Amino acid sequence: MSENQFIKPVTTEKKNNLTIGGCDLTELARMYGTPLYVIDETTLRGICKSYKKAFAEYSNIKMMYACKALCTSAIIRILDEEEFGFDTVSAGEIYTVYKSGVDMQKVLFNGNNKSAREIQLALDYGVGRFSVDNFHEAELLNDIASKKNINVKILLRITPGIECHTHEYIKTGQTDSKFGFDLSQIDEIISLIKTKYKNLNLRGLHAHIGSQIFDTQCYYDEVEILVKEIARIKNIHGIVLDEMNIGGGLGVKYTEEDNPPSVRVLSDAVTNAMNKYAIEIPTIYIEPGRSIISTAGVTLYTVGSTKQVPNGRKYAAIDGGMADNPRPGMYQAKYSAEVVNKINSKEKELVTLAGRFCESGDILIENIELPQLEAGDIICVYNTGAYNYSMSSNYNRVEKPAMVLVNNSQSDIIVYRETLDNLIANDNIPDRLKRK
């Protein structure tokens, strides 16, 4: 079984309390406070290795971690040690990767509305590839690159017209999408690159079809479309493209109802599609994000108040919620959880875990069976490594949680908890409002 098919980190153990990475989670909660993001290094490195092993038969494969899933300096350092490149979508992600000591030739800059400032920064830091998303970007990138006398290696991001069975908000490959060139626009942009945009060096095509994907037939279809388009471009324009980026999006197991395909099944779909056509594609890039980091992460919360609605449900309030995990509210995302300090309890009751924020919709998990909850109990919510910290906010002016890395019974802070002073650090009171 591949690691993305587990709900819990692979080092999870039930002793007197729940442990991950050899660390007692009640002790982590005591030491670092809650809410607390916890990343298991063993699980993270194991998933990286499973990707490399699954694609080992295809010699020209390059793994690119999708930084949007979780981008911190320590996480980037681990992925760099595991020989991954990096798919970035902002100046902040590029800067984090750069400051982490990564060879910037291993970095791709992606995104549908790159600013001039971000493009200049990426060029100054020596980012290896740009995934050009639209006509405006092509013109802007060429203009900036020409002023810097730089020849930029690019891929064209296309929308392959594939509908994946995932949430509407995380589909990206369908024809009606904000991302990429429609296939009918490819000849026009290539003609502009050949005749006008002399500082753009077209190397290949890029497509991404969505996220939390369970049907690997989508990947087979995507590769088929890309291969056919590369052959057509060679025939029509005389350009031999030697790179193909198929994006990421492989699903993970959040609950027992989820049944994601293994990484090996994904690699079979990709290589089978490649083998069908007599075309040389020297390099394939793949950009997993969620399926790399999600299972390695959990979030710890402390239970506060409880409320029994007469003739209704029971609520247990935690000290976090939609600001540190907005996914249930955005995507109706489902999660699994356990009570860290009552891990061996047999008696269960149905409870709804409610967040602390001032929204009725701030519900983390509805109707989950857990031991009877009391103030001070520690809840562990599984599979929160991807997008929780990345999408977190300071709603209600609440400080963002800390993040720790656990491995071999050792824990290390990799993101410090925000302080109240952090919250007001960028505030400014104009002179006319200052008290005299």
Cα 436 to chain center, whole Å?
A: 48
What 3-state class would DSSP assign to 350?
strand
Given a contact cutoff of 8 angstroms between Cβ atoms, the answer to whether 17 and 10 are in contact is no
Residues facing residue 365 across a β-bridge: 353
Q: Computed from CA positions of residues 133, 134, 140, 142, in that sequence, does the dihedral angle turn out positive or negative?
A: positive
Name the active-site residue from 48, 67, 164, 358: 358
β-strands 129-132, 402-407 pairing: unpaired
Nearest to 367 by CA among 384, 354, 380, 357: 354
Beta strands in 111-250 (DSSP E): 129-132, 152-159, 181-182, 200-206, 243-245
CA 185-188-191 angle, 5° bins = 145
Catalytic (active site) residue 358: yes
Nearest to 171 by CA among 233, 215, 140: 215
Element (H, E) at 312: none
What 3-state class would DSSP assign to 7?
coil
**C-alpha span between 244 and 32 (Å, rounded):** 44
How many residues does this entry show for the chain?
A: 436
Nearest to 401 by CA among 413, 409, 412, 410: 413
Catalytic residues: 358
